[in-house]
Amino acid sequence: MKEKIVIGCDIGGSHISCGIINVENGTILENSLISVKVSNSESKEILLSVWTQAILNCKKNVPDNSEFLGIGIAIPGPFDYEKGIGLYDNSNQKFVDLKNVNVKEALSESLALEPSKIRFVNDATAFSLGSYWYGSGKESKQMVAITLGTGFGSSFISNGLAIEEGITVPENGYLWDEPFKNGIADDYFSTRWFVNSFNEISEEKVTGVKRIAELVKEGDEKAITLFNEFGINLADCLAEHLKNFNADVVVMGGNIAEAFELFKPSLYKKLKERGLEIPFKVSILKESAAMLGSATLFK
């Protein structure tokens, strides 16, 4: 039996990372990882050239006796994932030069690969697909994945498929723009909420969540209160969605998830009050989750 191989790519605001992935078991072939820095503000020519080179360098290491299925690419939106066309409109200042560019066609040409072998997926969805098939969500049926970092990402996975419409999920599976308290969910479940909230109440000024987490361990009451508040807010935001979807696990990624133990008690307590007992797990795949998720497009 030939090994089924996919090149998984994770394109972010400042880099492209690629690896050769065995799609059956989710292992990344040793020494196949390539990561190249490139800013999303570069011209389309530079972006496409750097991405092409990274993928070609990775492809050199595909084992001869394997079956190469194609290239999966996780990339932030707005993007037409089916057709492979950038829809960037400067609303989030990303990839502005890729507006209306057919990335699939351009890469098909530069990589000399038929278009059907190049597939795209939203980066948050890729994180959740990777977690479902190969990570902390393995063995689950109804999994919700959230990323807690610079922004609030979410995805709803049922039996291995991302569910983006219907009565059991929010539109597109997105929670970030849901109304919450005095704004939207993204205002409350991101690094900036932690930093701004802490700096408002504390003498010490911080720039990231890591320092606030350290202060909890030093017994700082303000930092402790903040993590408790975060857990309660998260439970309030998610409870109805988890019930509607009949979720059996929530997998978390992003830098705030690394401090899970600090908001777990208040989160679980509030969920229980709302009639829910459901395990939350921190992603074990870390940085490789989106890359692995992009490979599942060929499962």
- Checking if the pLDDT of 58 tops 80, the result is yes
Distance CA 4, CA 26 (A): 10
- Checking if the pLDDT of 19 tops 80, the result is yes
Residue 13's pLDDT band, with cuts at 50, 70 and 90, is confident
**Mean pLDDT, range 170-178, rounded to an integer:** 93
The residues pairing with 282 across neighbouring beta strands, listed in sequence order, are 252
pLDDT (0 to 100) of residue 261: 97
In contact, 174 and 241? CB cutoff 8 Å: no
Residue 64 is encoded by which pair of tokens?
């001869």
4-126+288-298 CATH choice from 3.80.10.10, 3.40.50.150, 3.30.420.40, 3.20.20.210: 3.30.420.40
Distance CA 8, CA 123 (A): 12
Domains 4-126+288-298 and 139-283 alike in fold: yes
Distance CA 145, CA 41 (A): 29
pLDDT (0 to 100) of residue 1: 85
**Mean pLDDT, range 282-292, rounded to an integer:** 93
CB atoms near residue 38 (< 10 Å): 19
Residue 94's pLDDT band, with cuts at 50, 70 and 90, is confident
pLDDT (0 to 100) of residue 230: 98
**Cα–chain center distance at 249:** 16
pLDDT (0 to 100) of residue 211: 96
Q: Which fold has domain 139-283?
A: Nucleotidyltransferase; domain 5 (3.30.420)
**Mean pLDDT, range 58-84, rounded to an integer:** 95
- Checking if the pLDDT of 193 tops 80, the result is yes
Distance CA 79, CA 100 (A): 9
Query: Crossing angle of helices 191-201/221-245, nearest 10°?
Result: 150
Distance CA 141, CA 153 (A): 20
pLDDT (0 to 100) of residue 92: 67
Predicted confidence (pLDDT) per residue in 210-245, tens digit: 999 999 999 999 999 999 999 999 999 999 999 999
For the chain, the domains span 4-126+288-298, 139-283
Distance CA 151, CA 85 (A): 23
